[in-house]
Amino acid sequence: MDRMIAPSLLSADFGKLREEIEMINSSEADWFHIDVMDGVFVPNITFGFPVIHYIKKYAKKPLDVHLMIVDPGRYIEKFRGAGADILTVHYEACTHLHRTIHQIKDSGMLAGAVLNPHSSVTLLEDILPDLDLILIMSVNPGFAAQKFIPNTFKKVQQLSHTREIINTNFLIEVDGGVDLSNAGKLFESGVNVLVAGNCIFSSPDPVKTIRDLKKSVQ
């Protein structure tokens, strides 16, 4: 599968958001990654529907919206209406994950499940055929610029192996602490999509950094 990069707008400069969007449009990035936090599921509050509408207006690539909120099933249609193309929800936040995943798919979006660092990939065994992607958190969710958790490699390898055994094609995405020091190993471990924030937006040449992430080797 192709290597994909999804710059996380959580690390963007919101004083020049339009410029940041255009930078991603002109780069080799594949998706826009948008973290939605409610201050309840995680101790932070970020984007609301008006901001997502604004991003969608100028984005020329799919919006990968990651919900870090309680009861995400209540808002699926609203996120679709705001412009989400891909919607991921946390296993830890969904009482009825199977139902929520199918609500997302029925709305016309790709559907993904997210696992926090403490959650085993085996928790998703019974729903794997229903998923378009699985997002592995390589930091504890809530804030940008955290240190990468090394156990992520093991989880990705387990998930990649399971994907081969059951012969399905869900994407594996990793979010948190991703940079040029670990991108190559993550791709080699079976990751398809890397979410990178601080690594890209703090770079003197973000477009080059995105290109370098895609070409990273172990």
**What percent of the chain is modeled with pLDDT above 70?**
99
Alpha-carbon distance of 75 to 148, in angstroms, equals: 30
* One-letter amino acid of 33: H
Residue 159 pLDDT: 97
Alpha-carbon distance of 23 to 130, in angstroms, equals: 34
Residue 21 pLDDT: 98
What is the pLDDT of the chain when averaged over all its residues? 95
Domains of the chain with CATH codes: 4-214 (3.20.20.70)
Query: Does residue 175 carry a catalytic annotation?
Result: yes
Q: Does the model's pTM come out above 0.85?
A: yes
pLDDT tens figures, 182-209: 999 999 999 999 999 999 999 999 999 9
pLDDT tens figures, 12-36: 999 999 999 999 999 999 999 999 9
Active-site residue among 30, 35, 64, 132?
35
Query: Does residue 35 carry a catalytic annotation?
Result: yes
Per-residue tokens: 143 = 């804030």
Active-site residue among 30, 64, 132, 175?
175
Residues pairing with 157 in the sheet: none
Residue 218 pLDDT: 77
How many angstroms from the chain centroid is the CA of residue 136?
Answer: 8
